[in-house]
Amino acid sequence: MLKIYMLLIVLGLLGGVGYVAYYYYKDTQERIGILTQNNAKLEEATKLQEETINTMIEDRQKFEEINRELQKELQTAERYGDQLRATLQKHNLTHLANKKPGLIEKRMQNATNRLWDCLADLTNPNGVQLEAGTQNSNCNKDSKNGSSSSSAPKASSTK
């Protein structure tokens, strides 16, 4: 009888160990599945993050280039403004206007017309930009000395 009890105890222990091993195996496989899914999600997130970083680097490079171009344009505009200030300081327009009003009025009107035309070209409400080589020649942009010819007055529709 003792042998039967011992056999039952051994079988019970082996069954318990087998059950624990089976439960551990199932739990481990379930965890492996969950970790595999999490790993796939992390890999996707990493790829997305790398793409975002690369896009941000490209954008930063573009912004730096645009900023350099804007800085050059600003320096050109400041030089043009300095030229204008120097010209205005050199000439006493009040004295000239009193002395030769017709001449000064004509030149000032021509310059004002050119300025309005340039402003109209820059702020075209239709958003249409002129083709290369067809830009209004009255604008001071891209001229060597920043001045334009005042040979003929041009009527402006924006006055």
Band (98; pLDDT cuts 50, 70, 90): confident
Which residue would you say has higher pLDDT here, 60 or 133? 60
Question: Does residue 19 carry a pLDDT above 90?
Answer: yes
Distance CA 97, CA 151 (A): 20
Which range among 9-13, 90-94, 120-124, 151-155 has the greatest average pLDDT? 9-13
Work out the pLDDT band at 18, boundaries 50, 70, 90: very high
Average pLDDT over residues 61-89: 93
CA 135, CA 13: separation in Å to the nearest integer? 96
Q: pTM of the entire structure?
A: 0.45
Q: What is the CA radius of gyration of the chain?
A: 41
**115 or 125: which carries more pLDDT confidence?**
115
Rounded to an integer, what distance in angstroms lies between the CA atom of residue 155 and that of residue 114? Answer: 9
Q: Give me the mean pLDDT over the 70-81 stretch.
A: 95
